[in-house]
Structure 1
């Protein structure tokens, strides 16, 4: 829902007014040519892009952000818990096994200072709470994750958004969040269905970086990508058969959306067709594909390099 008095994001000029608009048109043509022969895809058909209904003040209506079921999550492991506490992740209880490790002592001190209840626990209890995960004697119970609205990721003049299509492993999600944080991304976009959500596994793999990385959910990824394009973003998808190397991506210094698919099936057909360009990561060895988290890290590094050159 639109908050009273809140202004929409003042991000970007329209796509057709930006200097790289001509490159986008050429990129789409090259993308469709590169994918010709793939029986699951074809050229983009012309048509109107869907628009959101207008709110009472004339602006597009913004539905309320979606949340996962209202259930607490556990972040466990010394580094993950400490990073979460340092970043102010809202904790409700800290379970710990007395230890001389410096990270455990710091975690206990931070939790005590901000009023999080401390519960001394034995290893069997922590094993049970974490389903025998590698907790290292430390676990933090946190409130359910609050997802951002997709429009919130458009803050700034040149946002870098990472959209995920079919990433169902929370560990991959956490690894991608960690890379996104390292290379200056503005946020992560997830579809509500057929996607991993922010849970304890994602928190642990992200090494606490989820505390400072906005994650938004959308009901329809294809529609949201088109909305980002309308807002002036260039949308590029990672695809093993993409006609362009990631080193040759145009417009990566402007508003940019990188779409990453699953390791097994890659990008969905409709999602791939919605991208302005499909790009691949050149590989010179014998591996046929890369893990989604690894691919995201490589691509984000290259985009960050170009943006800061």
Structure 2
């Protein structure tokens, strides 16, 4: 293997008078943004219940959907309060999102201890997302990370998408199971992982990058994925031990970052299969 190495309880809808002052009343206007402490949609809410992350379930009144009834039963069995609310209330809380008649209020999600995770032995892959801001991409990446059995997913505290309702929905709720760490400084996280025996592999289409399909993936790899428009930052590229790119047939020049992530993670997994088909750690 060649490459450089650097060690070192929910309130009821408030009602307000109409501007005409006729006494007719309406629900308060929609918020400008969806609250961060919610998940909506059947899959995301089911996952939130399964992960014990839901603290209250809101279900639209008058919706005859067996899956919603099942979710209500699961919530009640788990001691999670269930409230029937007008569909307009869910429209309001989701900013008009496709909620499928259900929304969960979410507890604060715990982060993993990256230092402790890095110290665990054996083959493992860690994902590090550098300034990826699209919730759809982050959600898809988290879903793949759980499927592959990633040891950790490192998300920046700033300049990147965090665990928002859009991320929960895009991940089909797998965000509730993803081993997420959010250190203050990505470069320091890279150095920590290198000190624990990880090799850092940056996805980069620039000159000199190795063909990812022929690359000899280290048993302990950190896969760095960059911003959708600018790629991996220069600082993290300089810290990387290797750079890899997926080969492209013309006229294709690039892939969506979530698609590329899936391909690269499974290239690593092909070389380092999980014992019994389960996760790595």
For Structure 1 versus Structure 2, the TM-score category normalised by the shorter chain is 0.7 to 0.9
- Distance in 1 (CA, whole Å) between partners of 2:238 and 2:183 is 18
Aligned to 1:248: 214
Q: State whether residues 199 and 222 of structure 2, in contact with CA within 8 Å, keep that contact through their aligned partners in structure 1.
A: yes
Give 1:147 shift: 2.0
Q: State whether residues 82 and 103 of structure 1, in contact with CA within 8 Å, keep that contact through their aligned partners in structure 2.
A: no
Q: State whether residues 153 and 214 of structure 1, in contact with CA within 8 Å, keep that contact through their aligned partners in structure 2.
A: no
Aligned to 2:222: 257
Aligned to 2:18: none
Aligned to 1:67: none
Aligned to 1:117: 81
Q: State whether residues 164 and 191 of structure 1, in contact with CA within 8 Å, keep that contact through their aligned partners in structure 2.
A: yes
Aligned Cα RMSD in Å?
2.0
Q: Decide whether aligned partners of structure 1 residues 284 and 251 sit closer, same or farther in structure 2, where only a CA change above 3 A counts.
A: closer
Say yes or no: does 1:92 pair with 2:68.
no
Say yes or no: does 1:133 pair with 2:94.
no
Look up the SS of the partner of 1:157 in the other structure. Answer: coil
Say yes or no: does 1:304 pair with 2:274.
no
Say yes or no: does 1:286 pair with 2:251.
yes
Aligned to 2:116: 152
Q: Alignment partner for residue 130 of structure 2, among 141, 159, 165?
A: 165
Q: State whether residues 58 and 85 of structure 2, in contact with CA within 8 Å, keep that contact through their aligned partners in structure 1.
A: yes
Aligned to 1:27: 3
* TM-score (structure 2 length as normaliser): 0.81
Say yes or no: does 1:75 pair with 2:34.
no
Aligned to 2:146: 181
Unpaired stretches in structure 2, ≥5 consecutive residues: 9-34, 275-281
Q: State whether residues 113 and 181 of structure 2, in contact with CA within 8 Å, keep that contact through their aligned partners in structure 1.
A: yes
Give 1:156 shift: 4.0
Give 1:72 shift: 5.5
Q: State whether residues 235 and 275 of structure 1, in contact with CA within 8 Å, keep that contact through their aligned partners in structure 2.
A: yes
Q: Runs of 4+ in structure 1 displaced over 6 angstroms?
A: none
Give 1:220 shift: 1.5
The number of residues matched between the two structures is 245
- Distance in 1 (CA, whole Å) between partners of 2:227 and 2:117 is 22
Unpaired stretches in structure 1, ≥5 consecutive residues: 1-22, 30-45, 50-70
Give 1:88 shift: 2.1
Give 1:296 shift: 0.7
Give 1:273 shift: 0.9
Q: State whether residues 75 and 140 of structure 1, in contact with CA within 8 Å, keep that contact through their aligned partners in structure 2.
A: yes
Cα shift readout 1:20-47 (whole Å, capped 9, x = no counterpart): xxx2xx3239xxxxxxxxxxxxxxxx9x
- Distance in 1 (CA, whole Å) between partners of 2:69 and 2:245 is 45
Q: State whether residues 237 and 275 of structure 1, in contact with CA within 8 Å, keep that contact through their aligned partners in structure 2.
A: yes
Aligned to 2:24: none
More divergent stretch after superposition (243-252 vs 176-185): 243-252
